[in-house]
Amino acid sequence: MVDAFVGTWKLVDTANFDEYMKALVSQLPCTIKYTTHGETCSPPPSLGEWGNLKSVVTLDGGKLVHVQKWEGKETSLVRELKDGKLVLTLTMGNVVSTRTYEKAT
């Protein structure tokens, strides 16, 4: 079943992706604050390392489910095949984005 996902896919449609990225970035441990005197950044405890990020990919009912967790936060990326297209559903909290791909020739 996983073999069906293998290949090169071309993005043909996207919905709410900017909002998903905003929700995701707002939950990352590094925040940048701009002031009139410059910028400051509070980095994660181990800048440049994976830290407490946990990531797992499973096959669930024909869907590839990728879950990432860190510091009590969670995002999921679910890939499924529908009508010959790859549909990616990204979820961060109550923000959901969908991206649709067609197999590249």
The phi-psi region of residue 24 (left if phi > 0; otherwise alpha if psi is between -120 and 50; otherwise beta) is alpha
pLDDT in tens, 49-71: 556 778 899 999 999 999 998 88
Cα 96 to Cα 18: distance, rounded to the nearest angstrom: 10
Confidence grade of residue 97 (pLDDT, cut at 50, 70, 90): very high
In order of their start, the domains of the chain are 2-103 (2.40.128.20)
* Distance between first and last Cα of the chain: 21
pLDDT in tens, 2-58: 899 999 999 999 999 999 998 988 876 654 444 444 444 444 445 555 567 788 999
* One-letter-per-residue 3-state SS of the chain: CHHHHCCCEEEEEEECHHHHHHHHHHCCCCEEEEECCEEEEECCCCCCCCCCCEEEEEEECCEEEEEEEECCEEEEEEEEEECCEEEEEEEECCEEEEEEEEECC
